[in-house]
């Protein structure tokens, strides 16, 4: 057995007996009455769940789901903006042995129909504002559960929809079926954009979930008395792994909002003496327009060391890089050693990385190269792309290195910097978007002979998608643009809809087959907001 195999075996063995119910049980036994979740809706009163109350509610909901026919291994769609019901439902599925399918609430009917069919979900849990969409899109689910409000805001459920009220599912009478502490049991699915026209279902095990919490907490040196403000969406790895699971691993407190609010950020931060928050550059820009009070923050995690903001906020900026497939940060800086401006950190102790040239050789300091990362499948790396063995196999080389699709640079001191994406991907705000998915929708319109989608630089959102199209036949340019944008709006989530359409006679090419998208990008000025 070589060293890599020995390490893998050790990490697999170290997870024995550890699953998500075990992790929550540890927190309950340590501090049962400590606030686990503080809910701060935009409307209505705030509320608090202790660790014991979260566990009790999760088990009661799990019993109710079991009585409705949900079994170990069944997939359950959670389509909700941030709310206590999301957190309770997520843990309830873990207690039952069901698999959470946390879907992006900006998804359209086409997406949701695909998510439901791909996972063969048996039921869905949602909020009133999404009830009609879920009912129409997820036709094969056995039943639909709907909360009584939209994350604290009043909601009306259409009369024609057959549903079960969320609060009526709770069951205190029956017992749950016994489950072994199996860290390799399937835990959750998150759909992530890839280079294909349809998102890929990233499957996590319970060991993956525990790892995400444990390692994220270690990277950030989280303490028992830490309080985090969570406004990033819980259906993404950032809020789910970096924030929720990391907080619950360390026994801290999570202050939860439906979404980001610049006007509420500082009042809530002061009210609860918040000590840290995961973030994105957009949030920094939004907060820069507001006065900064004396606060309790130890650090923010916006993904890079944006030291230019330090004089205004007096908050250290933690650099990091990760993706849904890596569960947590594969590259990270230390809160005591932030590194130079713009860095995403150094390779995390728990992972291996290689930065390769196109020919597979390793780069020298100062060069750009493609990032590969290696860990243990089902522990420190995702288990697989669910029901997509070809994509899973294509993502790993023969030695187990995962192709991230990101281009990275290393300086002479070992600090790493994000450069670009080698794969045909866009970064729109906090969302990854595959150009091919948008292009496939435009092609299906029957309006264009060719199209190419690229990212236009944007001062707040990093970039936004725009399309260059060669029309199938002569037509009014304004009408063609309007029809293409309308088709995108109907079939894609709002952040995937092209902001503009450029009609051209032909597309530039680097080879006979390949469109030179770099040439198209150079034609686009940065959008300043």
pLDDT on residue 278: 96
Structure tokens that stand for 402 in this block: 């995962």
pLDDT in tens, 451-469: 999 999 998 888 999 999 9
Domain extent listing, the chain: 426-522
CB 277 within 8 A of CB 53: no
DSSP 65-128: HHHTT--TT-EEEEE-SS-HHHHHHHHHHHHHT-EEEE--TT--HHHHHHHHHHHT-SEEEE-H
* Per-residue confidence (pLDDT) for residue 513, from 0 to 100: 62
Distance CA(408)–CA(414), nearest Å, equals 12
- The H-or-E segment that residue 353 falls in is strand 352-356
Tell me what pLDDT residue 315 has. Answer: 96
State how far the alpha carbon of 206 is from the alpha carbons of 21, 22, 103, 184, 245, in Å.
9, 10, 19, 6, 12
Give pLDDT tens digits along the chain (529 positions): 676 777 778 788 888 999 999 999 999 999 999 999 999 999 989 999 999 999 999 999 999 999 999 999 999 999 999 999 999 999 999 999 999 999 999 999 999 999 999 999 999 999 999 999 999 999 999 999 999 999 989 888 988 999 999 999 999 888 999 998 999 999 999 998 765 568 899 999 999 999 999 999 999 999 999 999 999 999 999 999 999 999 999 999 999 999 999 999 999 999 999 999 999 888 998 899 899 999 999 999 999 999 889 999 999 999 999 999 999 999 999 989 999 999 999 999 999 999 999 899 999 998 999 999 999 999 999 999 999 999 999 999 999 999 999 999 999 999 999 987 766 788 898 788 888 889 888 987 888 888 999 999 998 888 999 999 999 888 888 999 999 999 999 989 999 999 999 999 888 876 556 788 888 888 999 998 7
The CA distance from 308 to 329, in Å, is 23
pLDDT of residue 327: 97
> For every residue of 272-334, which 3-state class applies, written as one string?
CCCCEEECCHHHHHHHCCCCCCCCCCCEEEEECCCHHHHHHHCCCEEEEEECHHHCCEEEECE
Give the chain's radius of gyration (CA, Å). Answer: 23
Length of the chain counted residue by residue: 529
pLDDT of residue 401: 97
User: Phi, psi at residue 330, to the nearest 5°?
Assistant: -85, -20
Q: Which residues contact 73 (CB under 8 A, 6 or more apart)?
A: 97, 98, 99, 186
Nearest to 239 by CA among 352, 83, 94, 47: 83
**The predicted structure's pLDDT at residue 515:** 83
Sheet holding 368-374, edge to edge: 352-356, 368-374, 402-410, 416-421
How many of the other CB atoms lie within 10 Å of CB of 475?
12
pLDDT of residue 229: 98
Nearest CA-CA partner of 274 in 251, 257, 246, 297: 297
C-alpha 477/C-alpha 443 separation (Å) is 17
Separation of alpha carbons 476 and 65, rounded Å: 54
Q: Compute the CA torsion angle 195, 364, 366, 427 (nearest 10 deg).
A: 10
Phi-psi region of 189 (alpha: psi -120 to 50; beta: other; left: phi over 0): beta
pLDDT of 197 reads 60
For residue 51, CA distances in Å to 59, 62, 269, 273 come to 12, 16, 21, 19
Phi and psi dihedrals of 75, rounded to 5?
A: -100, 135
Amino acid 193: pLDDT: 73
Residue keyed to tokens 């006065």: 291
The pLDDT value recorded for residue 120 is: 98
Q: Under CATH, which number does the domain 426-522 receive?
A: 3.30.300.30
Q: How far apart are CA 508 and CA 146, in angstroms?
A: 50
In this predicted model, what pLDDT tens digit does every residue of 49-60 receive, in sequence order? 999 999 999 999
How many other CB atoms sit within 10 Å of the CB of residue 221? 14
Can you point out the beta strands (E) in 140-183?
Answer: 143-146, 149-150, 153-154, 164-165
Contact 247, 222 (CB under 8 A): yes
């Amino acid at each position: 057995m070589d060293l890599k195999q020995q390490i893998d075996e050790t990490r697999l063995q170290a997870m024995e007996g550890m699953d998500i119910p075990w992790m929550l049980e540890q927190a309950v036994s340590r501090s049962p009455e400590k606030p686990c979740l503080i809910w701060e809706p935009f409307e209505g009163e705030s509320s608090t769940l202790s660790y014991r109350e979260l566990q009790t509610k999760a088990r009661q909901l799990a019993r109710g789901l079991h009585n409705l026919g949900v079994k170990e291994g069944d997939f359950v769609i959670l389509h909700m903006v941030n709310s206590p019901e999301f957190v309770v439902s997520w843990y309830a599925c873990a207690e039952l042995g069901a698999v959470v399918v946390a879907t992006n609430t900006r998804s359209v009917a086409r997406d949701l129909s695909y998510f439901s069919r791909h996972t063969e979900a048996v039921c869905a849990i949602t909020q009133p504002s999404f009830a009609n969409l879920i009912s129409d899109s997820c036709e094969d689910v056995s039943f639909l559960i709907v909360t009584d409000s939209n994350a604290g805001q009043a909601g009306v459920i259409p009369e024609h929809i057959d549903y079960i009220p969320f609060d009526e599912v709770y069951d205190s009478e029956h017992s749950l079926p016994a489950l072994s502490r199996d860290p390799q049991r399937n835990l959750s699915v998150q759909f992530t954009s890839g280079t294909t026209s349809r998102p890929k279902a990233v499957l996590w095990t319970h060991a993956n979930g525990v790892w995400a919490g444990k390692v994220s907490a270690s990277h950030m040196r989280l303490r028992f008395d830490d309080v985090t403000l969570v406004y990033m969406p819980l259906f993404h790895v950032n809020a789910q792994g970096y924030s929720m699971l990391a907080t619950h691993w360390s026994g801290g407190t999570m202050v939860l909002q439906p979404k980001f609010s610049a006007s509420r950020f500082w009042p809530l931060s002061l009210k609860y003496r918040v000590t840290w928050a995961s973030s994105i550059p957009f949030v920094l820009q939004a907060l820069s327009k507001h006065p900064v009070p004396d606060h309790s923050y130890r650090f923010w995690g916006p993904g890079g060391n944006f030291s230019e903001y330090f004089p205004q906020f007096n908050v250290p900026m933690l650099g990091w890089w990760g993706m849904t497939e890596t569960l947590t940060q594969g590259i990270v800086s230390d809160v005591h050693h932030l590194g130079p401006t713009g860095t995403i950190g150094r390779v995390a102790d728990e992972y291996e990385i290689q930065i390769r040239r196109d020919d597979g050789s390793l780069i020298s300091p100062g060069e750009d190269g493609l990032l590969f990362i290696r860990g243990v499948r089902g522990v420190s790396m995702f288990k697989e792309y669910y029901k997509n063995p070809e994509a899973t196999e294509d993502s790993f080389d023969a030695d187990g290195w995962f192709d991230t699709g990101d281009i990275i640079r290393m300086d002479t001191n070992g600090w790493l910097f994000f450069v670009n994406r080698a794969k045909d991907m866009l970064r729109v705000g906090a969302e990854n978007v595959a150009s091919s998915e948008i292009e496939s929708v435009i092609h299906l319109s029957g309006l264009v002979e060719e199209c190419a989608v690229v990212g236009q630089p944007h001062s707040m959102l990093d970039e936004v998608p725009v399309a260059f199209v060669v029309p199938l036949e002569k037509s009014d340019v304004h009408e063609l643009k309007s029809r293409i944008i309308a088709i995108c709006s109907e079939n894609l989530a709002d952040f995937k809809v092209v902001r503009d359409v450029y009609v051209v006679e032909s597309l530039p090419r680097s080879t006979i087959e390949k469109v030179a998208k770099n040439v198209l990008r150079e034609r686009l000025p940065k959008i300043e907001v």
